[in-house]
Structure 1
Amino acid sequence: MHVQTSDEIRLTETAARRIGEILADEPAGSMLRISVNGGGCSGFQYGFDIDRTRQPDDIVVERDGATVLVDETSLQFLKGSVVDFVDDLIGQSFKIENPQATSSCGCGTSFSL
């Protein structure tokens, strides 16, 4: 299988470390899948799932042993994004800094273009 990689989406060191921690508790070969779906309070929402199957159109983003999958359709909405992991007063979560988003909701998982 041909693996496509992307420099159009970047993981911060903090995100890569947290993804590694999450995947350490999952079966061998598990990867984090980030997707964009219609819905949420702003029109689109980010999805985060554990996946063990790499699809032919998946783009692979790797850093420090962490592997993230993004399907080709979601990639169009995520180009130029930086995936980070934040731990602040309101809790821990992945945060996507998406230069294509014109607005986002307070929860940070929903955005509009």
Structure 2
Amino acid sequence: MTMTSEIDLTSSAAKRVAAIAERQGKPAILRLAVDGGGCAGFQYRFELAEGADKDDVTAERDGVTLVVDTVSLDLVRGSSVDFVENLGGAAFQVNNPNAQSGCGCGTSFSV
């Protein structure tokens, strides 16, 4: 497990992860992975994790840990994970400087 400044978790996202984890009785660890697919080529996948794998890269904020596998990190390096609430709903959002295009749903991107 490596701490990094290559990816960040906003305080809004950390607060939301902590609330979800507490409600589900799980550790406050959010895993971000990138899968092939989605309407733009790649899609973000979020889930609560029990822990970090030995080759994961991690970032911490306010007692919450964000974990990313090294393959996904290549696609999200320099990104920030945020939690956004607006008229369209509430969701985790990745502000990814590597994405050349995205889609309307905000969960899919291309590089």
Q: TM-score range by the shorter chain?
A: over 0.9
TM-score by length of 2: 0.94
User: Where does 1:1-113 land on structure 2 (aligned, <5 Å)?
Assistant: 3-29=1-27, 31-113=29-111
Gaps of 5+ in 1: none
How many residue pairs end up in the alignment? 111
CA distance in structure 1 between the aligned counterparts of 2:81 and 2:52, rounded to whole angstroms = 20
TM-score by length of 1: 0.92
CA distance in structure 2 between the aligned counterparts of 1:13 and 1:29, rounded to whole angstroms = 17
- Identity, % of aligned positions: 47
Gaps of 5+ in 2: none
CA RMSD of aligned residues (A): 1.2
Tell me the alpha carbon deviations over residues 31-71 of structure 1, each in whole angstroms, 9 at most, x when there is no partner. 21100010000000000011113211111111001111110
Of the structure 1 ranges 24-33 and 3-12, higher mean CA displacement relative to structure 2 is found in 24-33
